Amino acid sequence: MKIPENIEKNATKIVLFINRILELVFMLVIVMALLVAAYALWDSKTIYTNASPEKYEVYRPTANHSVSFQELQNINSDIFAWLTIYGTNIDYPLVVGEDNAKYLNRDPMGEYSLSGSIFLDYRFSKDLVAFNNLFYGHHMAEGMMFGDIDLYESKGFFDSHRYGTIYYNGEKKGIEIVALLHGDAADKSLFAPPAETESAKQDYLAAMQEHAVYIRDKDITLDDTLLVLSTCATGDRTDRHFLIAKISDRIEKNMYPKVTNTKEHTDRENSTANQEFHQVGFGVWIALCVVIALLVVNIFIRIRWGKNHESFCKK
C-alpha cells in the first residue's frame, strides 16, 4: 500500500525533529562531561601545586638569616617553625591553630586548600618543650605533605635517611629519625596530650614500642624532645603512620640536597598508582567513559533510525 506523500513527509519531519532533539541532548551531556573532566584535571593539579614544597621555598630560613621566614610569619602569625627531612619532600612551614580543624583545609598562608598544612596539635606549645610534640599532615601522592612518610616502610630507607632540621624560636636545630610506628586512629595512646611526668613519658615510650615497625630505642631517652609526625597510612581508613624524630643540637650534613627517585620512591609510586587513579582521577575517567558511551549510543541510534526510516519509506 502506497503511503500518501503528505503523511510520509510529516513522518519524516517528525523523525528528523526527534533525532535532532536527541542529538542536541547528547551533545549537551557530552559537553557537560568534558567540562567535568577538565575541572577534575584542573582541580587535581591545583591541589598538588598548593601542596608542593616549592611554593614556600622562597621563605625557607637559611643558615645566615631568617628574614624571608619572618616575612612568612608576617603573612600568618600561626606559622612558628620550619621542618625539613633530608631526601624527602617534607620541607614545609609548620603552623598551629586554636583547634585541630583549622588547618585541615587551609594552607600555611591561611587560604582554603584541600591539601591543608602540617600543623601542631593545639594542646602543645609552639616552643616545642613537650616530650611528645604531635603534628598532623595529609597523606598525599607524589610525596606531598606527609606522603613521603610511606618511604620509611622500607628498612633500607629508614636506615639511610635519618636526619633533617627544624627551625623554631629563631634557631635551627638538627633532628634524627628514631622510629616508624603503625597505629589506629581510635588508639589514643599515640595521640596523647603532652607527657609532663616521668610516668607519662614511660607510658608513651611503651606505646611506641608496642606500635613500632622500626625503632632505635637505644637512641631515645626521657630527656629528649620528640616530634611525632602523624598521617594516614595506606590500608584501612583508620590506619595511621607515625614518624618519630628527636631534636638535636647537632645538625648533620644533608647528603640529599635534591630529592631523587630512589628505589623506595619508585616502589611507593607504583604501589599507590591504583589508589591515586581512584582518589584523584576518578571524576576524569568517569566523565571520559560517559562521553565514549554516549558517542557509541548516538552512532547506534543513527544507524538504527536510518534503517527504520528507509524501511518505512519503502512501504
Say what the pLDDT of residue 278 is.
43
Say what the pLDDT of residue 294 is.
66
DSSP 112: B
Return the half-sphere exposure (C-beta side, CA atoms, 13 A cut-off) of residue 184: 4
Q: How far apart are CA 204 and CA 30, in angstroms?
A: 56
Listed in sequence order, the DSSP H helices in 52-144 are 67-75
Say what the pLDDT of residue 40 is.
59
13 — phi, psi (to 5°)?
Answer: -60, -40
In 3D, which of 177, 190, 276, 291 has the Cα closest to residue 231?
Answer: 190
Say what the pLDDT of residue 275 is.
47
8 — phi, psi (to 5°)?
Answer: -60, -40
Is 227:135 a contact under the CB 8 Å cutoff? yes
Nearest 5°: the CA angle 243, 246, 251 is 115
In 3D, which of 203, 202, 247, 242 has the Cα closest to residue 224?
Answer: 247
Measured from the Cβ of residue 130, the count of other Cβ atoms closer than 10 Å reads 20
Q: How far apart are CA 245 and CA 174, in angstroms?
A: 10
Q: pLDDT truncated to tens, each residue of the chain (315 aa)? A: 555 656 666 666 776 777 778 777 777 777 776 676 666 565 556 656 666 778 888 899 876 666 789 999 999 999 999 999 999 999 999 999 999 999 999 999 999 998 999 999 999 999 999 999 999 999 998 889 999 999 999 999 999 999 999 999 999 999 999 999 999 999 999 999 999 999 999 999 999 999 999 999 888 999 999 999 999 998 889 999 999 999 999 999 999 977 655 555 555 555 444 444 444 455 556 666 766 776 666 666 666 655 555 554 555
The sign one gets for the Cα dihedral 98, 80, 137, 242 is negative
Return the half-sphere exposure (C-beta side, CA atoms, 13 A cut-off) of residue 163: 12
Give kind and range of the element (H or E) at residue 8: helix 5-51
Say what the pLDDT of residue 13 is.
72
Say what the pLDDT of residue 44 is.
57
Q: How far apart are CA 185 and CA 240, in angstroms?
A: 6
DSSP 95: E
The set of cell numbers assigned to 148 is 613521603
Q: How far apart are CA 265 and CA 31, in angstroms?
A: 38
- Helix, strand, coil share (%) of the chain residues, nearest 5: 45, 20, 30
Say what the pLDDT of residue 21 is.
82
C-alpha distances out from residue 156 to 17, 73, 140, 198, 265, Å = 69, 37, 22, 33, 12
Q: Checking phi first, is residue 153 left (phi over 0); if not, alpha (psi -120 to 50) or beta? A: alpha
